[in-house]
Structure 1
Amino acid sequence: MNETVRAYDRDAAAYAARTAAVPDAVRAEVARLAGELGSGARVLEIGSGGGRDALLIEGLGLVVRRTDITPAFVSLLRGRGHACDHLDPLVDDLTSPDGPHDAVWANASLLHVARHDLPRVLGRLAAVTRPGGRLWSSFKEGDGEGWSTHGTISGPRHFTYWRAADLRGAAGGVGWTDVVVHHGPEGDRGETWLVLSAVRDGVSA
């Protein structure tokens, strides 16, 4: 288990409590995704954390497969009665017995992936998404990478910072098309966010 996962593992309950309220911008993105997919669509969530996004997505008629790399988040969600898979999107099997997913939702989770690993992760996510399916993910804007200790997480976490052009490059050529990167709202510590959306290559199902 790496240091970032250990940091979340120690303070998972506190993090879940602090992030329980869904920002309006996230609500708007979920509503847009639900409108594009239609009721009953299956969404693979990478980094479910405390579970707030999944509940919102399900409330709009979609079906969520919860996953997280942090054991404490998996245990927390299972304790609340939700199925949750303990998965590392870089190395673990992401396939589902129900077939390809209709979308991938990764809110503030893939920003912990090393720069050189992100294209591989995005390619692996494309491989388990149906043609015409959707990708939505968010990242912190900036240059380089670094460690940060803030909020309810007492240990240091590693972040990779991105510029829009580099994110578009990371998603291009690994199974996604119509790649769009736009600025999200400012974070509570003044940081700026980038939102990556894309469509799975191929003819829509």
Structure 2
Amino acid sequence: MKITGSKDTIDWYDSNAEKYCAGGDKVTFENNAKILLGKLKSNPKVLDAGCGDGRDSQTLSSLGATVVGIDLSQGMIELAKKNRHGIQFLHADFLSIPFPDASFDGIWSHASLVHLDTLIEVKQALDEFNRVLKPEGWLYIYVKEQKGSEETAIVSDSLSNHERFFRYFTKEQLSTLLEESGYMVGDVTIVEDFHGRKEILWIRVFAGKISDK
């Protein structure tokens, strides 16, 4: 399959979900989940936006959250429903989240904005996250850091052994986008790659909702 953008990447995930996710539970982001949940009320309702096979949904659930996972890949959602129990998973687009305003205390967006084609879509996603967040809700974002001038790329990596589309971000750019979408940026940190790939750095952000969009 020739990858030209985000749609092709989603199609690839559909066809390769089980193979791609094999062994994925060896990597956890429990510490990040604890930080997010520590900012929320007890027994919060959390949206996992771009949940994949539900790995992080399960972590959040085990820490006491009521979790809803959504993903644009039908293959990933089927895998999540098969392997993760007691969690609601929906085939849905986080650019148009099928929930009313102020439905969630927190939103977890781990390595999902990286597959959006345009910055317009990124802004749309942040606005949509704002819409479904309750007042004083919190958003967690994890995206790849931009190096040099390249904002997007078709990359063949060791995790997928195939090409995928990625969008890269800078700390300043992401902070500005969040502020424009009604968030207070609480923490922005550059972190090393969780799979030990030296050429990749990630940006971790926790941002609180301060106004409606």
Do they superpose with TM above 0.5? Answer: yes
Aligned residues: 199
Give how far 1:96 is off. Answer: 4.6
Letter in 2 for 1:192: L
Equivalent residue, structure 2, for 1:173 = 180
Tell me the equivalent position of 1:41.
44
More deviation in 72-81 or 173-182? 173-182
- Conserved 8 A contact 1:94-1:128: no
Could you tell me how far 1:39 is from its partner in structure 2? 2.9
Among 23, 26, 37, the alignment partner of 1:21 is 26
The whole-number CA distance in structure 2 between the counterparts of 1:71 and 1:8 is 9
Query: 187, 196, 204: which one pairs with 2:205?
Result: 196
Which amino acid is 1:77 matched to?
A
Question: Aligned pair 1:183/2:193, yes or no?
Answer: no
Q: Using the alignment, how far apart are the partners of 1:77 and 1:177 within structure 2?
A: 32
Q: How does 1:151-166 map to 2 (within 5 A)?
A: 151-166=158-173
Shift of 1:173: 1.8
User: 1:148 aligns to what?
Assistant: 155
CA contact (8 A) 1:172 1:179 kept: no
Q: CA RMSD in A?
A: 2.1
Runs ≥4 residues deviating over 6 A: none
Instruction: Tell whether 2:78 aligns with 1:75.
Output: yes
CA distance in structure 2 between the aligned counterparts of 1:185 and 1:152, rounded to whole angstroms: 16
Unaligned stretches of 5+ in structure 2? 1-5
Using a 3 Å threshold, how does the CA distance of structure 1 residues 125 and 32 change in structure 2: closer, same or farther?
A: same
| Residue in 2 that maps onto 1:95 | 99
Residue deviations 1:64-120 (CA, integer Å, cap 9, x gap): 101111010111122234431111112x233159x5200100111111112232111
Shift of 1:202: 4.6
Question: Per the alignment, in what secondary structure is the counterpart of residue 184 of structure 1?
Answer: strand
The separation in 2 between residues aligned to 1:202 and 1:6, in whole angstroms, is 35
Partner of 1:52: 55
Residue 83 to residue 100, structure 1, CA distance change in 2 (3 Å): closer
- With normalisation by structure 1, the TM-score equals 0.88
The answer as to whether partners of 1:46 and 1:66 remain within 8 angstroms in 2 is: yes
Which segment is superposed worse, 169-178 or 101-110?
169-178
Q: How far did residue 179 of structure 1 move?
A: 4.6
Kindly state the Cα deviation for residue 144 of structure 1 after the two structures are TM-superposed.
1.3
TM-score, normalisation: structure 2: 0.85
For 1:154 and 1:22, the matched residues in 2 are separated by 18
Report the residue type matching 1:178 in the other structure: V
- Aligned AA (1:146): A
* 2:12 aligned partner, one-letter code: A
Name the structure 2 match of 1:134: 138
- Counterpart of 2:68, as a letter, is R
Identical-pair percentage: 24
The residue matched to 1:31 in structure 2 has which SS? helix
Q: 1:178 to 1:161 in 2, by over 3 A?
A: closer
